[in-house]
Amino acid sequence: MIRFADSPARDERFVVKEKWNELVNLSHDHPDVDMEFLHRQMNEEVDSLEMASRNLTDFPDAPWELRMSIARQCSDEARHVQAFRRLLEKRGGFVGQFPVMNFQFRIIMTIDTLVGRLAVANRSFEAAGIDAITEGIASKYRENDPEFVGLFDAQLADEIEHVRFANKWIKTFIDQEGGRALFAIARAVAHADAAFGEIIGDCGIAWPVDAATRREAGFTEDEIESARALAGRG
């Protein structure tokens, strides 16, 4: 398995970087930190749309119910892109203001099984995302920023569903295929962990595991405790 796929196409407004430390990583008290976050997240939502779209085109024989869930995810991610861009521009920002990175797409597109992609993109990346969004809601609530809270609230509801349907179908694939599905998941997760570490390095990105939203997304108590253990070790 190759480590990274090529980056998805971006127009001339964007400056695309390959490593986390090449981005504009601002301190929490920097006046532009929210603007940079909105811009970065807008592009990551485009990545999520592109990954979900490729799941539809790359696996046309997947069960219809699963394909419908992925199609709904595409719609959700497109709406997220618009929401982040709208708030970015409302606050004086613009598309292309900061460098972006497409690491999730570059990792996911090297995984050749749908169950593996669901395990990494939805069950890992987006599950970490719901932890981060929950933390973000609390932080922006304390800052009395209702626009950000409203944006995060709407995003969180969608992301929980994206994790939930992946959890459901991963279990279905395991029930139907047994060891073959388990091997595909283990191979995909190990590959993604190594690739993620190469891109992110030792920047220390981590959020507290939010048990309530993970339960809503279909994780068991044992899985939540495992996630907490991994987060603590990181």
Domain residue limits, the chain: 16-233
Q: Is 60 exceeded by the pLDDT of residue 233?
A: no
> How far from the centroid of its chain's Cα atoms is residue 22's Cα?
20
* Of the candidate ranges 100-104, 108-112, 217-221, 226-230, the one whose mean pLDDT is the lowest: 226-230
pLDDT (0 to 100) of residue 203: 65
* Of the candidate ranges 68-72, 152-156, 228-232, the one whose mean pLDDT is the lowest: 228-232
pLDDT (0 to 100) of residue 232: 65
Q: Is 80 exceeded by the pLDDT of residue 52?
A: yes
Q: Is 70 exceeded by the pLDDT of residue 204?
A: no
What dihedral angle (degrees, nearest 10) is formed by the CA atoms of 198, 139, 214, 44? -40
Q: How far is CA 188 from CA 62, 104, 123, 138, 166, in A?
A: 18, 13, 12, 33, 15
As a whole number, mean pLDDT of residues 206-215 equals 88
pLDDT (0 to 100) of residue 207: 75
Banded model confidence at residue 65, pLDDT cuts 50, 70, 90: very high
Q: Is 70 exceeded by the pLDDT of residue 213?
A: yes
> Which helix (H) or strand (E) element contains residue 226?
helix 221-233
pLDDT (0 to 100) of residue 234: 44
pLDDT (0 to 100) of residue 102: 97
Banded model confidence at residue 2, pLDDT cuts 50, 70, 90: confident
Banded model confidence at residue 35, pLDDT cuts 50, 70, 90: very high
> Encoding tokens for residue 29?
């008290």
pLDDT (0 to 100) of residue 227: 86
Superfamily the domain 16-233 falls into: Ferritin, core subunit, four-helix bundle (1.20.1260.10)
Query: Whole-number mean pLDDT of the chain?
Result: 94
pLDDT (0 to 100) of residue 51: 98
As a whole number, mean pLDDT of residues 119-141 equals 94
Nearest to 152 by CA among 89, 213, 71: 213
> How far from the centroid of its chain's Cα atoms is residue 170's Cα?
17
- pTM, two decimals, is 0.93
Share of the chain above pLDDT 90, in %: 89
As a whole number, mean pLDDT of residues 9-31 equals 94
pLDDT (0 to 100) of residue 200: 84
As a whole number, mean pLDDT of residues 179-203 equals 91
